[in-house]
């Protein structure tokens, strides 16, 4: 099954791509061997991040439109925040990008964070690898927009686009350290609003130290709803991706993922229901000590 699925993915079959993502998300038997068989993908990944309400989805919609007119195949991952209680999500990006769901050159997948920190999905690296095997020319990942905690996108994306609006002066100042670290391109969206020019100018001044470190961060003004400034943004992304390398931050992200996978494999022998049952009994006693319980359970499987 998995071999046939991979061949269909390589042929660009959207149904096969969707099925593979679902099987990996649900950890179906054989998914690890399937992931190990994936070819090393080279499709550039553009991350779209920034505070809520900045227009990330509208900007993504405009980028899809531009690239498809050039005959490119585009894959989009839209990550929405999950409820901390039932792990469900609104997945509202489906509404904003509804024009593309039947387009033969566009694949869109909405994902919930499922409680994952960093504004992404717990299987984002695996899902991106599947898309890179699917013959796409561009991959866009739009994050949930939770602010400075979205550092993870910088490790995954080849180019990280940070979207802000002219009114976000104080907010940008608050998030300055995190944004300066992850931004490869700044987009001042909704730049038809008052003070957009002054805001963009101040943003360039704030980034002066970054220029001294030989990292040129472009500031692009757009009105995504009117498709204004999109060509300049596409050019800035393309120029940045001419110098793609395996950066230190990407190595750190991969290190974290390797650590998580090893920890998950080591935890397989432990049954959470069994832990729960034993805690029900032990936690009510006066002698209960959480750390002693963990020590005993991890060594014997019983506390």
Same domain for 107 and 239, yes or no, is yes
93 has a pLDDT exceeding 60: no
Same domain for 3 and 141, yes or no, is no
- For residue 199, give both structure tokens: 């805001």
Domain end (from 247, 264, 291): 247
How high is the pLDDT of residue 62?
95
Same domain for 196 and 263, yes or no, is no
> In whole angstroms, what is the distance from residue 124 CA to residue 303 CA?
35
Which residues is 219 bridged to in the sheet?
186
Q: What is the pLDDT of residues 199-246, one digit of tens each?
A: 888 888 877 655 555 567 889 999 999 999 999 999 999 999 887 666
Q: What is the pLDDT of residues 239-298, one digit of tens each?
A: 998 876 666 767 876 787 788 778 878 887 888 888 999 999 888 888 899 999 998 888
Where is pLDDT greater, at 239 or 89? 239
Same domain for 3 and 113, yes or no, is no
Same domain for 10 and 92, yes or no, is no
CATH of the domain at 149: 3.40.50.300
> In whole angstroms, what is the distance from residue 260 CA to residue 239 CA?
34
Same domain for 146 and 78, yes or no, is yes
Same domain for 218 and 153, yes or no, is yes
Q: Which domain holds residue 30?
A: 1-38
Same domain for 100 and 224, yes or no, is yes
Same domain for 87 and 152, yes or no, is yes
pTM: 0.81
How high is the pLDDT of residue 149?
44
- For residue 271, give both structure tokens: 């049954």
- The burial class, CB within 10 Å (0-12 / 13-18 / 19+), for 119 is buried
Same domain for 218 and 259, yes or no, is no
Angle between helices 124-132 and 248-267 (to 10 degrees): 110
Same domain for 224 and 276, yes or no, is no
Same domain for 188 and 290, yes or no, is no
Domain total of the chain: 3
């Amino acid at each position: 099954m998995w071999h046939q699925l991979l061949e269909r993915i390589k042929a660009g079959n959207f149904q096969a791509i969707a099925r593979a993502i679902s099987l990996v998300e649900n950890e179906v038997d054989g998914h690890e061997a399937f992931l190990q068989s994936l070819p090393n993908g080279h499709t550039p990944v553009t991350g779209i991040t920034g505070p809520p309400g900045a227009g990330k989805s509208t900007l993504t919609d405009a980028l899809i439109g531009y690239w498809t007119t050039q005959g490119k195949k585009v894959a989009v991952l839209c990550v929405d925040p999950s409820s901390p209680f039932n792990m469900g999500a609104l997945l509202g990006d489906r509404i904003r990008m509804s024009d593309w769901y039947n387009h033969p050159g566009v694949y869109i997948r909405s994902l919930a964070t499922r409680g994952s920190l960093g504004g992404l999905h717990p299987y984002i690296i695996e899902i991106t690898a599947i898309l890179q095997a699917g013959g796409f020319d561009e991959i866009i990942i739009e994050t949930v927009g939770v602010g400075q905690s979205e550092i993870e996108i910088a490790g995954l994306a080849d180019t990280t686009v940070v979207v802000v609006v002219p009114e976000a002066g104080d907010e940008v100042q608050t998030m300055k350290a995190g944004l300066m670290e992850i931004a490869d391109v700044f987009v001042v969206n909704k730049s038809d609003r008052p003070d957009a020019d002054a805001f963009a100018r101040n943003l360039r001044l704030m980034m002066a130290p970054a220029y001294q470190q030989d990292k040129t961060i472009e500031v692009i003004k757009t009105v995504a709803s009117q498709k204004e400034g999109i060509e300049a943004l596409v050019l800035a992304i393309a120029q940045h991706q001419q110098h793609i390398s395996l950066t230190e931050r990407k190595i750190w992200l991969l290190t974290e993922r390797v650590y998580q996978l090893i920890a998950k494999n080591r935890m397989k022998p432990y049954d959470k229901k069994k832990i729960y049952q034993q805690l029900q009994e032990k936690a009510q006693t006066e002698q209960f000590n959480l750390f002693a319980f963990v020590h005993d359970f991890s060594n014997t499987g019983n506390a």
